[in-house]
Amino acid sequence: MSLDVRDFRNALGRFATGVTLVTAVSDAQKALGMTANSFSSVSLDPPLVLWSLQNNSDVYDVFATPRFFAINVLSSEQQSHSNQYAKKGEHELDPSHYRLGKYGAPLIRHALVTFECELHATHDGGDHVIIVGLVKDMHERPTGDPLLFHQGRYGELR
Ligand SMILES: Cc1cc2nc3c(=O)[nH]c(=O)nc-3n(C[C@H](O)[C@H](O)[C@H](O)COP(=O)(O)O)c2cc1C
């Protein structure tokens, strides 16, 4: 059976996810962010997480192999962050949206939780590269609801 790409994409969209902003600093010292919902937990011991990056991204070189990066889980109040950093050419972080963590990756203010990661491994993932991070530190907001994504739309917990 050969899958129609649009049908496959729509079927994948039936799986509800949260939304993250993956952040890293470029060689030119620019703090960048990219909206991603491919985040997943991998391992508790050692603490590993992953996300996948499309191979044809304009900012592939920054996000595919950074020594350190952060995965910031967005709250329901941060839909505008998700939209802003999902636009081509619009990945440079607004200085008011982040502070730098102790490993040098940008940490998004008011995110529900931020995982500070060291690059652990990358794997071939077809038209994406799978990026596995070793979690070095994390920061949690005590309260707040997640931003959700389902069938191409945002949602919130009811
Ligand atoms: C909710 C949502 C989730 C996304 N998840 C991913 C993802 O997991 N991986 C990815 O490479 N791009 C993802 N994107 C697309 C990027 O955020 C961004 O639109 C794309 O990288 C823009 O092209 P560029 O990388 O060439 O600038 C997502 C976009 C949205 C709105």
**Within a domain: 12:** no
Contact 58 CB / ligand 1 (< 6 Å): yes
Count structural domains, the chain. Answer: 1
Helix-strand-coil split of the chain, %, nearest 5: 15, 45, 40
Predicted local distance difference test score (pLDDT) of residue 46: 98
For residue 54, give the ligand 1 atom closest to its CA.
11
Q: Using an 8 Å Cβ cutoff, are 79 and 147 in contact?
A: yes
Indicate the pairing of strand 128-140 with strand 153-155: unpaired
Contact 53 CB / ligand 1 (< 6 Å): yes
Dist CA 19 CA 45 (whole Å): 24
Dist CA 69 CA 106 (whole Å): 8
Q: Which residues pair with 117 in a beta bridge?
A: 69, 135
Contact 34 CB / ligand 1 (< 6 Å): yes
**CATH code, 71:** 2.30.110.10
Predicted local distance difference test score (pLDDT) of residue 158: 83
Dist CA 114 CA 22 (whole Å): 10
**Within a domain: 99:** yes
**Within a domain: 9:** no
**Within a domain: 71:** yes
Domain that includes residue 89, residue range: 18-148
Q: Which residue's CA is the nearest one to ligand 1's atom 18?
A: 86
Q: pLDDT of the chain along its 158 residues, tens only?
A: 789 999 999 999 999 999 999 999 999 999 999 999 999 999 999 999 999 999 999 999 999 999 999 999 999 999 999 999 999 999 999 999 999 999 999 999 999 999 999 999 999 999 999 999 999 999 999 999 999 999 999 999 98
pTM: 0.97
- DSSP assignment of 53-97: EETT-TTHHHHHS-SEEEEEEPBGGGHHHHHHTTSTT--BPPGGG
Task: Find the 37 Cα to ligand 1 centroid distance in Å.
Answer: 8
